[in-house]
Structure 1
Amino acid sequence: MENETDLLQELELNNYLSLEDIPEIDLYMDQVIQLFEKKFAGNKRNPDEKIMTKTMINNYAKGKLFFPIQNKRYTKEHLILISLIYHLKGTLSIGDIKDLLQPLNKKVSAGELNLEQLYESFLHIRKRDVQETTDGMRKNITVAQEQAEQHDEADKAYIQRLLLIASFANISNFYKRAAEKLIDDMNDAEEEHA
């Protein structure tokens, strides 16, 4: 198995779109795509993969995942929301993301919420999550190595990789289900107040 440091570096978990990365001027769709493609190029699983496409952005707009654009230009607030969508879409369904962001979009559109401040809070938690995840992954690598030692020499490398992949998938599923449960609870609470 590759070196744990190499694996963790290749994941580029510290890659995110900061507020400083977002221009103060409104951008056209092609510029939005270029910004995301450049910033998250290291997150691609293969070179042909697209980080962001016109179709994706149009689907987010049609699905009302963010408030309407004006004059075919995306504001800093739109880019923040698109970044949030980018981070959420790997785990949550578009329907869940819409449910999650709908109240946010209403508040931002009404000027009742500082989206930049919220995004800074998101990035703060994200940085902490990266550290905790990295620490947890190191522990899981060690446990998988220990468990693989119990198997035949010829199978150890494969067993270690299998156990590690299964562990990462388990953890991902646990967190995904927890996120979905919170969205379900949020939707149930909104229905009770309707």
Structure 2
Amino acid sequence: MSTDNLNSTKQELNDFSGILSSYKTEVWSSFPGIDLYMDQVVTYLEKLLNTFNDDDKNKVITSSMVNNYVKEGYLKRPVNKKYDRVHLVSLYIMSMLKPILPISLIAGSLQNFENEQKYRIFFEEFTTMQDEAFNNVSHKLAAALNQITDDKDYETALRLFALQLTSEANAHRIAAEKILETLNKNNNSAKISDKEKNK
């Protein structure tokens, strides 16, 4: 790697570390309090979700995705073709996490709330964890950039660091899937048992 490329890489990744550390997940009260039509929903969420997406061709969310989520029962049906704050928050979470987990598992974790207040508390805890995760990765990246002193091995060290992050993410994904699959399976068994008791 040439000196110019090395300096450019260092600067870009240091800047990115700063973006990660200052990133804040959207809070509940920031979501519109009025119901929105589909095109408004997609436009609004695209703006929120495009922080780390540089590819305009691969949309984070589309009207087709939303329709499919409703059709599959992952999202409650809109009233008079309008989507409320709970819809928006659910779509926001699903869109953020779908590169990691199947939509069915994510949606299953968002459908067990008796009322909007409990969902709000859950979402506030989620945003805190999400912001902490970005902040932790930012610190790890900054530390990795500072520790690499040998310019000859800079690229190799960064590639290994990227694979370390990927390995950690994969291990976390596997554990998360198992937890959610187990919870969903046990919840479904409990619902079936309750129905049989009520017959």
For normalisation by structure 2, the TM-score amounts to 0.78
Sequence identity percentage: 23
Aligned equivalents of 2:21, 2:96: Cα separation in 1: 14
Question: Which of 164, 175, 189 is the equivalent residue of 2:172?
Answer: 175
How many pairs are equivalent? 182
1:117 and 2:126 aligned: no
> Which residue number in structure 1 is paired with residue 6 of structure 2?
none
Counterpart of 2:158, as a letter, is: R
Change in CA separation of 1:192 and 1:116 when aligned onto 2, cut-off 3 Å: closer
1:131 and 2:139 aligned: no
Matches within 5 A, 1:73-84: 73-84=82-93
Counterpart of 1:19, as a letter, is: W
Matches within 5 A, 1:31-70: 31-70=40-79
Aligned equivalents of 1:33, 1:12: Cα separation in 2: 27
| Paired residues of 2:10 and 2:145 also in contact (CA < 8 A) | no
Aligned equivalents of 2:18, 2:177: Cα separation in 1: 29
Change in CA separation of 1:99 and 1:76 when aligned onto 2, cut-off 3 Å: closer
Question: Which of 161, 179, 184 is the equivalent residue of 1:187?
Answer: 184
> Which residue number in structure 1 is paired with residue 29 of structure 2?
20
Change in CA separation of 1:191 and 1:54 when aligned onto 2, cut-off 3 Å: closer
| More off after superposition, 125-134 vs 62-71 | 125-134
| More off after superposition, 40-49 vs 51-60 | 40-49
Q: For structure 1, which runs of at least 5 residues remain unmatched after alignment?
A: none
Change in CA separation of 1:165 and 1:129 when aligned onto 2, cut-off 3 Å: closer
1:49 to partner: Cα distance: 2.9
Q: Which runs of at least 4 in structure 1 moved beyond 4 Å after TM superposition? A: 10-13, 140-143
Q: Kindly report the root-mean-square deviation, in angstroms, between the aligned alpha carbons of the 2 structures.
A: 2.5
Larger RCO (CA within 8 A; separation ≥ 6): 2
Q: For structure 2, which runs of at least 5 residues remain unmatched after alignment?
A: 1-8, 194-199
Aligned equivalents of 1:139, 1:157: Cα separation in 2: 13
1:37 to partner: Cα distance: 1.5
1:163 and 2:157 aligned: no
1:71 to partner: Cα distance: 0.5
Counterpart of 2:41, as a letter, is: V
1:32 to partner: Cα distance: 0.6
| Paired residues of 1:12 and 1:43 also in contact (CA < 8 A) | no
